[in-house]
Amino acid sequence: MLFGKKKRLIERVLVVEDEPLVAFDTEHFLTGEGFEIVGTVDSVADALVAVGEAETLDLILVDISLSDGSGVEVARAAIQRGIQVLFVTGSCPGEARSLAVGCLAKPYPQRDLLAAIKAIEAVLEGQEPKRLPQSFSLFKSAA
């Protein structure tokens, strides 16, 4: 019998982050973990284009405070396309529960980002997540 890695539910990720170093680190880390980064953008306008044009997106990591507006706008567009959203921000907005599957508070260690994604996958599979990082709030009702 061959043992292989379990197929992920979340493979294709869009990163929406206007801090260049954070964006680069996130993209580099997730690529190394086997995720496909479909794009890394730094504005609401570019994110909305990416959401509209992407054939398949499994998850959008979006900061709230962007140079040209709020990541909440990106989350609303994602919901219309059935795309899961994880807010990665220093301050989670009040309406986050209705717009995203969770909120990861900045600053966070990379292992917490990976654990948050695994928790989201577990909920999408109808399972209880094994471990949630302290900096992560999971909104099961949105998943």
Question: 51 pLDDT exceeds 60?
Answer: yes
Question: 88 pLDDT exceeds 70?
Answer: yes
Tens of pLDDT along 125-134? 888 888 899 9
Q: Over the chain, what is the mean pLDDT? A: 90
Domains parsed from the chain with CATH numbers: 12-138 (3.40.50.2300)
Question: 1 pLDDT exceeds 60?
Answer: no
- ∠ CA 74-77-82, nearest 5°, is 120
Pairing of strands 65-66, 69-70: antiparallel
First to last CA, the chain: 34
Kindly state the percentage of the chain with pLDDT values over 90: 73
| One-letter amino acid of 42 | D
Question: 5 pLDDT exceeds 80?
Answer: no
Task: Label residue 70 by pLDDT band (50, 70, 90).
Answer: very high
Taking residues 111-123, what's their average pLDDT? 94
